Amino acid sequence: MSLPAENTRVVLAARPVGEPTPSDFRIETAPLPEPADGELLLETLYLSLDPYMRGRMSEAESYADPVPLGAVMVGGTVGRVVESKDPSFVKGDVVLSFSGWQSHAIADARHVRKLDPAAAPLSTALGVLGMPGFTAYAGLLQIGKPARGETVVVAAATGPVGSAVGQIAKIKGARAVGIAGGPDKVAHLRALGFDEALDHRAPDFAAQLKASCPNGIDVYFENVGGKVWDAVLPLLNTYARVPVCGLIANYNLTSAPEGPDRSAALMGRILTKSLTVRGFIQSEFVKDQFVHFLADMSGWIADGRVKHREDVVDGLENAPAAFIGLLKGQNFGKLLIKVAQ
């Protein structure tokens, strides 16, 4: 099969104000790049869409540089080697890389990881066996440290991070309470084995959460912020741990939330309850924990203790709409773009 003459890519056309819109993205073509020594030309098979990408569209201060205007949107990818200038890789190898929203890319061979298509479905390298799964594993076990019998609450619980958090909590002997949006997602949480499954859209959500946590909350894995956090905070026990992974409810805000400044009350609760509130980026744990994660998670999947769900959208051209929907909670499971067969 001959290579196409051009590379199709999705670039950042404008910085969003509030919710991203289709006009913030632009689909364009460019000449197919040529690999230099030590490089690989990859054909993208799967592209991962993740909430952190919203932050990379902004110039606000963050843990990573923003995507420049006119540049390819960032993202994890699974790709096939179509040309290799490195002796460690041959045409046809499949690798995990960070090639972004494009059909083809050049990758430094030192910065990719070869995948075994026979070991697990390739898409799982971007989900349950990749960054989202590892985020759940490292954040929960290194920061949350749930003990047997404790209550673990996680929001966005049907997503790739939240669903893994709840299932790992159960494996460790804790009680898992999942929060999601809509009856279908709540039913899915029950099928995954969560002890309690709540719909954050319910008008009496805060009361339901309190009733579901009669002994308070020992670990709250924060993916959302907003009204969910407001309901969780009063229920946190003394010495509760809060790994802060994401704040998706805040990503599209253009001003401070309505109401009084509650930072003093928050700090007071942190003091009086001796809370541990710890933000983290999964990369800080990779060196020490990733090998253990792969071994543990592969075993848990094999024996059925961890299940995962994927939401696969066909076509790179559909990535902007799918990403906009992700920020509104429209996906159900790990969101992937299938770029090529």
User: In CATH, what number is assigned to the domain containing residue 178?
Assistant: 3.40.50.720
Tens of pLDDT along 114-136? 999 999 999 999 999 999 999 99
Measure the CA–CA gap between 246 and 257, rounded to whole angstroms: 17
* pTM (two decimals): 0.90
Question: Looking at the structure, do residues 174 and 197 belong to the same domain, yes or no?
Answer: yes
Q: Average pLDDT over the chain, rounded to whole?
A: 94
Question: Looking at the structure, do residues 15 and 88 belong to the same domain, yes or no?
Answer: yes
27: domain CATH number is: 3.90.180.10
Question: Looking at the structure, do residues 112 and 212 belong to the same domain, yes or no?
Answer: no
List Cβ neighbours of 2 (8 Å cut-off, separation of 6 or more).
none
Using alpha carbons only, what angle is made at residue 109 by residues 3 and 66, rounded to the nearest 5 degrees?
90
Domain interval for residue 38:
6-127+309-338
Number of structural domains the chain divides into: 2
Question: Looking at the structure, do residues 99 and 13 belong to the same domain, yes or no?
Answer: yes
pLDDT at 249: 58
Question: Looking at the structure, do residues 267 and 332 belong to the same domain, yes or no?
Answer: no
pLDDT at 224: 87
DSSP sequence for 166-178: HHHHHHTT-EEEE
CA 13 → CA 9, 58, 169, distances in Å? 12, 12, 41
Question: Looking at the structure, do residues 102 and 52 belong to the same domain, yes or no?
Answer: yes
Alpha helices, DSSP H, located in 86-150: 131-138
Among 240, 267, 283, where does a domain finish?
Answer: 283
Quote the strand ranges of the chain, DSSP E: 6-12, 25-31, 39-48, 77-84, 94-97, 104-108, 113-115, 151-154, 175-180, 196-199, 217-221, 236-244, 276-279, 310-314, 334-338
Question: Looking at the structure, do residues 163 and 247 belong to the same domain, yes or no?
Answer: yes
Residue 302 lies in a domain: no
Residue 270 lies in a domain: yes
Residue 207 lies in a domain: yes
pLDDT at 4: 73
Question: Looking at the structure, do residues 106 and 135 belong to the same domain, yes or no?
Answer: no
CA 63 → CA 33, 279, 318, distances in Å? 29, 11, 28
Tens of pLDDT along 170-213? 999 999 999 999 999 999 999 999 999 999 999 999 999 999 99
Decide: 93 and 81 in contact? Cβ < 8 Å.
yes
Taking every pair of C-alpha atoms in the chain, what is the biggest distance, in angstroms?
66
